[in-house]
Amino acid sequence: MSDQFEQMIQYIKRDVMRRPDVQLDEATPLVSSGLIDSLALVDILMKLEDVTRTRLPAGKIQPKDMDTVQLMFATAAKLGKPRK
Amino acid sequence: MSFGEFTRLADEQAQHLSLSGLRAGDSVVLVMPQGISLVAAFAGAMVLGAVPAILAYPNFKTDPVKYSQGLAGVLANLKSPLIVVDTSSTETLLLDHLPKTANTKVTRAAPLQRDEAPPLGTWRRSVPEQIAFIQHSAGTTGLQKGVALSHAAVLRQIDHLARALNITESDRIYSWLPLYHDMGLIACFVLPLVLHLHVVMQSPTSWVAQPATMMQLISDWRCSLTWVPNFALQFLARRVRIEDRAAFDLTSLRAVINCSEPVRAQSIDEFVNAYAASGLKPTVVKTSYAMAENVFAVTQSHVEGSPPRVHVDRQRLLQDGLAVGAEPESSGSTCLVSSGTLVAGQEIRVVDQNDMERQPGEVGEILVRSDCLFDGYYGRPDLSAQALRDGWYHTGDLGLQIDGELYVTGRSKDLIIVAGKNIYPHDIEHIVCQHPAIHDGRAIAFGVPNPNLGTEDIIVVAEVSREDDFLDDAKIQNALRDAIVAELDVAARAIYLKPPRWIVKSTAGKASRAATRQKLSGEHPELMAYDQSSSVGRHERPI
């Protein structure tokens, strides 16, 4: 799991925020703290699907369910369906 | 839902609002999520002859105290006796945090009861010149300007727009646009209401989470018209999986109208190419130039074909404010997309800083006069006098005309548009300067193009009061981000903290946005590279 956390954190820093120097960990609030915009959640959701090899029902996921990397993986574990 | 059912619901809301003390002529603020209850309450207020105003709904990022303080500012300006909410949680939020000086009652909307009973008959005959509703423009909630629009102005705009778009009863509109924005309210709710067209509506939050749902709903419901800000085209092209696109049948769409953000050719082309296999017509994207102060559209591109494009020399456009033809593929050329020709009842002038007419192909500020123009900002004669002079509305937008087509090239006001939402830099700067570590008046915010999203990102640079404050750099940045998102519901892409006396001041002693931006770009080349990727000229030099 820690590898997956790290993969997501690196993706968010490098591709979403474009700030590899920023300090982030799995418990850092992202949307509620203004670090990322809710528009970026679609990219993060697609990346989360790739990392967890699942399909996620975006309609059932609220921005608050994706506010930290920890919450993202908890959401994927709860709602994700194995990818065909 | 049929029109009969909707009429019934609006009538019920009118009864409920009347029992809550609302009277004809009163203004009423609606703080509700996108849905049937909101539109029924909006219509219900008008049934009574009251004046509704829809405000943005608080979400999980919203700071309840700041939201309530801002709302109190709007209430004080509108002198509203009533706020309508949807749930007990919103009611509690407002009751807990709304300043006690706000002498306004909070009530929940009537529960929805769909039945077959006839309307209750609370309808009043409207006076054409009476205010129908109030739209709020950009700004922090407390400082938003309320644009008061009469029934006559709204109906004239709808008539003009319907003609420009050849709207018939067989049209069906799709929308995810928020109803506190003119494009969502006028084009996608009031227009179909007046013309008795079907509308398929979803909330902005559900669309952002699942962009594919827009195309699915258009496909399922055979929608023919929709309005979107420019960024949405690129968002739909890049954030819907190719395998998901195969299921859509988009042959029913006859116009996707790109409006409320600078139009970018690349975004249009990406969108059209991405959905060609789904039956999207290659000429489906149209353009429009619109604003709340004019109810909505000033221009609209022709319903047949694509809006014209011109390739011009980027440097001449930026430095001299002139559209000089250039080879399309040359490195120094930029592509401008027309926002269309004038809709009936509209006039524009393109003028220089001395209000002198610019010639075709010359950039100037766009002024608008029309038969559906607002009378002024509600309760703000000072702002109204600045914006409306001799019957002309000074838009603050820059543009030029070629062969009767309007090309919008930038803004003379330093407005930032993030995903269709207007943000004033001074609102961000005000929030940033409230932090104790930031030197008062020494913060600058501006927008840079985000080519990946087809919209703008917010950049902030601020001076700390003391060099020692750099020890808390990360902490201060986080606090500033928190404050910006809590009040404005937007994220800053980058915040740069600088030492005392770093920000460039004008001769008048005020922080200079243009010069500071240039200095920041010099120190941070990554920002410069980002800035130059724009296909639309910026506007920092005098014209």
Instruction: Report the alpha-carbon distance of residue B473 to residue B19 in Å, rounded.
Output: 54
Mean per-residue pLDDT, B86-115: 80
Which of A13-17, B31-35, B250-254 has the lowest average pLDDT? A13-17
Instruction: Report the alpha-carbon distance of residue B427 to residue B411 in Å, rounded.
Output: 17
* Domain membership flag for residue B250: yes
List CB contacts (< 8 A) between A14 and chain B: none
Q: To the nearest whole angstrom, how far is the Cα of A4 from the nearest Cα of chain B?
A: 22
Amino acid at B315: Q
Nearest partner of B346 among B192, B182, B161, B131, judged by Cα = B161
pLDDT > 70? residue B542 = no
Mean per-residue pLDDT, B228-237: 91
Mean per-residue pLDDT, B527-533: 53
CB contact under 8 A, B492 and A38: no
Q: Looking at B362-440, list the stretches that DSSP marks H as alpha helix, in order from N- to C-terminal side.
A: 381-387, 425-433
Residues B268 and B366 in one domain: yes
Residues B501 and B475 in one domain: yes
In chain A, which residue's Cα lies nearest the Cα of B213? A59
Question: Residue B9 has what DSSP assignment?
Answer: H
**Mutating which of A13, A23, A24, A37 best tests the B interface, going by the most B Cβ atoms within 10 A?**
A37
Residues B65 and B36 in one domain: yes
Q: Which carries the bigger pLDDT value, residue A23 or residue B392?
A: B392
Nearest partner of B344 among B308, B297, B404, B392, judged by Cα = B297
List CB contacts (< 8 A) between B484 and chain A: 34
CB contact under 8 A, B61 and A34: yes
Mean per-residue pLDDT, B395-423: 87
pLDDT in tens, B318-341: 788 899 999 998 888 889 999 999
pLDDT > 70? residue B533 = no
**Mutating which of B63, B176, B208, B497 best tests the A interface, going by the most A Cβ atoms within 10 A?**
B208
pLDDT > 80? residue B142 = no
Question: Residue B123 has what DSSP assignment?
Answer: -
pLDDT > 70? residue B535 = no
pLDDT the model gives residue B534: 39
Residues B301 and B422 in one domain: no
* Domain membership flag for residue B386: yes
Instruction: Report the alpha-carbon distance of residue B388 to residue B367 in Å, rounded.
Output: 9
Residue B116: partners with Cβ closer than 8 Å, 6 or more residues away: none
Residues B287 and B319 in one domain: yes
Residues B390 and B448 in one domain: no
Q: What is the 3-state secondary structure (H, E, C) of B274-312?
A: HCHHHCCCCCCEEEEEECHHHCCEEEECCCCCCCCEEEE
Residues B404 and B426 in one domain: no
Domains assigned to chain A: 2-82 (1.10.1200.10)
pLDDT band at B528 (very low <50, low <70, confident <90, very high): low
Average pLDDT in chain B: 88
Interface residues of chain A, partner chain B, Cβ below 8 Å: 17-19, 23, 31-39, 41-43, 45-46, 58-59, 61-64
Q: Which of B60-74, B136-150, B427-441, B515-529 has the highest mean pLDDT?
A: B427-441
Q: To the nearest whole angstrom, how far is the Cα of A19 from the nearest Cα of chain B?
A: 9
* Domain membership flag for residue B375: yes
Packing angle of the helix pair B473-488, B64-78 (nearest 10 deg): 40
* Domain membership flag for residue B178: no
In chain A, which residue's Cα lies nearest the Cα of B453? A39
Which residue among B106, B125, B144 closes a domain?
B125
Tokens of B348: 């524009």
ipTM of the predicted structure? Answer: 0.70
Q: Residue B351 CB: number of other CB atoms within 10 A? A: 17
pLDDT band at B202 (very low <50, low <70, confident <90, very high): very high
* Domain membership flag for residue B231: yes
Nearest partner of B57 among B101, B93, B26, judged by Cα = B93
Q: Which carries the bigger pLDDT value, residue B508 or residue B492?
A: B492
CATH (domain of B358): 3.40.50.12780
Residues B407 and B420 in one domain: no
Residues B211 and B285 in one domain: yes
CB contact under 8 A, A41 and B210: no
CATH (domain of B84): 3.40.50.980
Which of B12-26, B209-223, B468-482 has the lowest average pLDDT? B468-482
pLDDT > 80? residue B532 = no
Nearest partner of B240 among B283, B273, B202, judged by Cα = B273
Contacts 24+ apart (CB under 8 A), B97-106: B97/B64, B97/B65, B97/B67, B97/B68, B97/B69, B98/B68, B98/B71, B98/B72, B99/B68, B99/B69, B99/B72, B101/B72, B102/B71, B102/B72, B102/B75, B102/B76, B104/B29, B104/B75, B104/B80, B105/B20, B105/B21, B105/B81, B106/B82
Nearest partner of B82 among B127, B5, B29, B143, judged by Cα = B29
Q: Which helix (H) or strand (E) holds B370?
A: strand B364-370
CB contact under 8 A, B205 and A45: no
List CB contacts (< 8 A) between B445 and chain A: none
Total domain count, chain B: 3
CB contact under 8 A, A59 and B491: no
Task: Determine the structural domain holding residue B457 and report its residue range.
Answer: 416-532
* Domain membership flag for residue B328: yes
Instruction: Report the residue from B61, B453, B494 with minimal CB separation from A31.
Output: B61
Packing angle of the helix pair B88-97, B64-78 (nearest 10 deg): 80
Which of A5-14, B60-69, B275-284, B487-496 has the lowest average pLDDT? B60-69
Residues B293 and B343 in one domain: yes
CB contact at 8 A, B469 and B442: no
pLDDT the model gives residue B541: 28
CB contact under 8 A, A42 and B235: yes
List CB contacts (< 8 A) between B481 and chain A: 33-35
Tokens of A73: 């993986």
pLDDT the model gives residue B476: 92
Which residue among B366, B386, B411 closes a domain?
B411
pLDDT the model gives residue B539: 31
CB contact under 8 A, A34 and B482: yes
* Domain membership flag for residue B143: no
Residues B79 and B92 in one domain: yes
pLDDT band at A72 (very low <50, low <70, confident <90, very high): very high
CB contact at 8 A, B366 and B344: no
pLDDT the model gives residue A42: 86
pLDDT band at B413 (very low <50, low <70, confident <90, very high): low
* Domain membership flag for residue B539: no
List CB contacts (< 8 A) between A31 and chain B: 61, 485, 491
Instruction: Report the alpha-carbon distance of residue B337 to residue A4 in Å, rounded.
Output: 44
Instruction: Using alpha carbons, list the distances in angstroms from residue B377 to B86, B135, B412.
Output: 27, 10, 20
Tokens of B117: 């009973």
pLDDT in tens, A35-71: 888 788 888 998 999 999 998 888 788 888 999 999 9
Mean per-residue pLDDT, B459-469: 87
Mean per-residue pLDDT, B255-261: 93
Across B420-543, the runs of DSSP E, i.e. the strands, are 421-423, 438-450, 455-464, 492-498
Nearest partner of B2 among B119, B108, B123, judged by Cα = B119
Percent of chain B with pLDDT over 90: 53
Which of B121-130, B331-340, B421-430 has the lowest average pLDDT? B121-130
pLDDT the model gives residue B17: 94
Q: To the nearest whole angstrom, how far is the Cα of A76 from the nearest Cα of chain B?
A: 15
Residues B370 and B478 in one domain: no
Percent of chain A with pLDDT over 90: 46
pLDDT band at B537 (very low <50, low <70, confident <90, very high): very low
Which residue among B411, B446, B464 closes a domain?
B411
Packing angle of the helix pair A69-79, A2-11 (nearest 10 deg): 120
CB contact under 8 A, B60 and A38: no
